[in-house]
């Protein structure tokens, strides 16, 4: 959930009880240093990652072809 850009930190806290700083600490431990730096650049200041900065209400988005019948 933390890796995905549209999932706000509030949703992660609601689901797993990890606040933003705990998520950052977890990502720092689990990712390679270069991957963590890239993730932090993407997440820092991102409107969709911080629920208070969002101007719209979004459910989960998915690609139309993601759940194709087989």
- For residue 6, the model assigns a pLDDT of 79
C-alpha separations of 33 from 3, 15, 27, 36, 54 in Å: 15, 26, 10, 5, 29
Q: Which of the four pLDDT bands, split at 50, 70 and 90, describes residue 67?
A: low
C-alpha–C-alpha distance, residues 49 and 25, integer Å:
16
Q: Which of the four pLDDT bands, split at 50, 70 and 90, describes residue 48?
A: low
Domains identified in the chain, total number: 1
pLDDT in tens, 21-33: 999 999 999 999 9
Range of the domain at 4: 1-70
């Amino acid at each position: 959930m933390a890796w995905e850009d549209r999932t706000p930190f509030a949703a992660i806290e609601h689901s797993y009880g990890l606040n933003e700083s705990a998520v950052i600490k977890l990502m720092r431990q689990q990712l390679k240093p270069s991957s963590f730096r890239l993730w932090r650049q993407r997440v820092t200041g991102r409107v969709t990652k911080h629920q208070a900065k969002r101007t719209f209400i979004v459910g989960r988005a998915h690609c139309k072809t993601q759940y194709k019948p087989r």
